[in-house]
């Protein structure tokens, strides 16, 4: 079994706050889909989030656009096959 999880940290403590079981054959969802679900869930539940840090695996176009749409900032490595437009300013 594989799990996509989300943790919160204040620099000292690490607290698990959400997770999804990855079972693509059963539900058809990718790990990126699950990541997006978790981000939306945290915002809907009222978590005070400003920054999201994640592995390059989750840097899909959809996730980056979702984070931007929610007015949040992200910190991640970008996969080599991603194209980024740096000219757009917020």
In sequence order, what are the residues at sequence separation of 6 or more whose Cβ sits closer than 8 angstroms to the Cβ of residue 74?
51, 52, 53, 54, 64, 67
pLDDT per position as a tens digit, 7-28: 998 889 999 999 999 999 999 9
Q: What number of CA atoms fall less than 13 Å from residue 87's CA on the CB side?
A: 2
Per-residue model confidence (pLDDT) at position 22: 97
Q: Long-range pairs for 16-23 at CB < 8 Å and ≥24 separation?
A: 17/42, 17/47, 18/42
- pLDDT one digit per residue (tens) for the chain, 90 residues: 899 999 998 889 999 999 999 999 999 999 999 999 999 999 999 998 999 999 999 999 999 999 999 999 999 998 887 777 777 665
């Amino acid at each position: 079994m594989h799990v996509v999880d989300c943790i919160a940290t204040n620099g000292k403590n690490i607290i698990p706050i959400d997770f999804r079981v990855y079972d693509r054959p059963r539900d058809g969802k990718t790990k990126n889909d699950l990541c997006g679900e978790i981000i939306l869930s945290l915002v809907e539940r009222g978590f005070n989030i400003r920054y999201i840090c994640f592995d390059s695996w989750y840097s899909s176009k959809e996730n980056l656009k979702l984070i931007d749409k929610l007015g949040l900032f992200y910190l991640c490595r970008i996969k080599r096959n991603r194209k980024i437009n740096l000219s757009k300013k917020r």
